[in-house]
């Protein structure tokens, strides 16, 4: 019975070590491989909204770039090929081609962490419209890849793995003897 108890303890320790190894190897986090950002990652970027009777716009701020998504207010149809300019902190910036209904603006400086007025001028064929909004970056959380909860989990897993390694090292002679016996028994059955 004592031998069975030792084998079950050894098996449980090996199973825990194996599951921790697999779990840590499976997590790669954002930025690895050719993956696209998840919905949670894209929603963490600051954004603003502006609308008029003709158009509605959503701007997503990523550092020194603003991507503006523009569509018609009445039909949600993408606005393609319009000439779009923004006025931000006293300077006018024209859009760069970016995609259907998307307009990219490259800023000289990052937007300040205070409420900032932005004006969007849209020239679409013979229609000109102006939309206004306020960008307030202070209302958006600064997210990080590692939160305090995930840091605690990593610390606990690492501590458990180190404890298993320590006790396995202390009992390495016993473990080696039992492993050899187990391998011998398996060979005899085959």
Distance CA 172, CA 179 (A): 10
pLDDT at 71 exceeding the cut of 90? yes
Q: Which two tokens stand for residue 130?
A: 């102006």
Distance CA 175, CA 7 (A): 9
pLDDT confidence bin for 27, thresholds 50/70/90: very low
Query: What does DSSP assign to residue 144?
Result: -
Q: pLDDT tens, 48-57?
A: 999 999 999 9
SS3 82: coil
pLDDT at 185 exceeding the cut of 60? yes
- Ranked by mean pLDDT, which of 14-18, 43-47, 182-186 comes out on top? 182-186
SS3 33: coil
Q: pLDDT tens, 129-155?
A: 999 998 888 766 655 556 778 788 888
SS3 114: coil
Distance CA 54, CA 51 (A): 8
pLDDT at 111 exceeding the cut of 90? no
Distance CA 142, CA 131 (A): 27
Task: Specify the long-range contacts of residues 94-102, CB closer than 8 Å, at least 24 apart.
Answer: 95/68, 98/67, 101/69, 101/70, 101/71, 102/67, 102/68, 102/69, 102/70
> Average pLDDT in the 159-186 region?
84
Distance CA 18, CA 155 (A): 17
- Its pTM stands at 0.53
| Nearest CA among 35, 42, 33 for reference residue 143 | 42
């Amino acid at each position: 019975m004592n031998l069975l108890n030792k084998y079950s303890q050894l098996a449980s320790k090996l199973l825990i070590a194996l599951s921790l190894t697999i779990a840590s190897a499976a997590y790669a986090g954002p930025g690895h491989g050719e993956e696209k950002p998840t919905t949670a990652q894209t929603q963490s970027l600051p954004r603003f909204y502006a609308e008029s009777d003709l158009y509605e716009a959503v701007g997503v701020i990523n550092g020194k770039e603003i991507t503006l998504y523009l569509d018609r207010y009445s039909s949600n149809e993408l606005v393609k090929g319009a000439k779009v300019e923004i006025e931000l902190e006293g300077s006018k910036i024209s859009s760069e081609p970016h995609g259907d209904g998307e307009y990219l603006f490259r800023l000289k400086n990052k937007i300040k962490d205070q409420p900032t007025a932005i004006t969007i001028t849209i020239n679409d064929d013979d229609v000109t419209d102006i939309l206004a909004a306020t960008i307030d970056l202070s209302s958006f959380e600064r997210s990080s890849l590692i939160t305090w909860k995930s840091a605690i989990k990593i610390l606990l897993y690492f501590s458990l793995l180190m404890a298993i390694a320590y006790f396995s090292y202390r009992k390495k002679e016993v473990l080696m003897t039992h492993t050899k016996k187990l391998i011998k028994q398996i060979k005899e059955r085959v």
